[in-house]
A = this chain, B = another copy of it.
């Protein structure tokens, strides 16, 4: 029999995470900046140590705590929180918000184009060279921050979007308007200077340098489905990367 009111099934380690986080924030646990040992926590929450470790792992991934072998788990009270992890694929709207600015979008252009040969090879689209070009300027606190050109082969479209209904992020765009959603992206990181056209669009000083990202977005079926060229003003949006030493 089908349940009439399906309950949302949240894993135990995430329930524990919510409660533990609440306890940390209200100072009920770890006032001294140190969390109790895993064994104590697992007893308190009446879960196995493996489960509490999943919880702590999740908190660590969020940058909220740091665990140290042989010492303990520690709360990261703000401090050096790296918010702009470059390996997390977020929409630019969210990116600007995370970097402490108020985002808005301007100068949206949506028009059909023919992909050039290089782009066709890159996207494995030798038959049909038609594409939509979506250009947008993202602002942060009234300053131009990011200019994006997205090339979307028309063969991948379910339907043509109306200019008024374009989502802020290309990931949501793919969810709504493409046959497949975006699973992962590969970005090349290139330092560059703006040409005259871009300088005018982004109101740049002459000689100002920009970060250029050339991004290829892949579907779940591992096919390239969207190509983006992104210009980022690093004065507003500063990318950081946490690099872990390779083990071998």
Q: Which residues of A contact B (CB under 8 A)?
A: 8, 10, 14, 18, 33, 63, 66, 68, 74-80, 82, 86-90, 171, 182-193, 207, 209-212, 215-216, 218, 220, 222, 224, 234, 238-248
Task: Determine whether the beta carbon of A186 is less than 8 Å from that of B87.
Answer: no
A68: chain B residues within 8 A (beta carbon): 220, 222
Given contacts A8-B248, A66-B184, A171-B245, 19 further A-B contacts (CB under 8 A): A66-B183, A76-B222, A78-B216, A78-B222, A79-B186, A82-B186, A87-B87, A87-B241, A88-B246, A89-B245, A184-B242, A187-B241, A189-B211, A189-B238, A190-B234, A190-B238, A191-B211, A191-B234, A192-B209
6 A-B contacts, Cβ less than 8 Å apart? A33-B222, A86-B241, A88-B243, A88-B244, A189-B241, A191-B211
The answer to whether A86 and B189 touch (CB under 8 A), given A171-B245, A182-B245, A184-B76, is yes
The answer to whether A80 and B171 touch (CB under 8 A), given A74-B222, A86-B243, A247-B14, is no
Kindly state the separation between the CA atoms of A218 and B193 in the bound complex, as whole angstroms: 32
The answer to whether A191 and B216 touch (CB under 8 A), given A78-B184, A184-B76, A243-B86, is no
The answer to whether A187 and B78 touch (CB under 8 A), given A193-B193, A193-B207, is no
A190: chain B residues within 8 A (beta carbon): 211, 234, 238
A210: chain B residues within 8 A (beta carbon): 191
The answer to whether A244 and B209 touch (CB under 8 A), given A216-B78, A220-B66, A239-B189, is no
**Residue on B with the closest CB to A224?**
B78
Task: Determine whether the beta carbon of B76 is less than 8 Å from that of A218.
Answer: yes
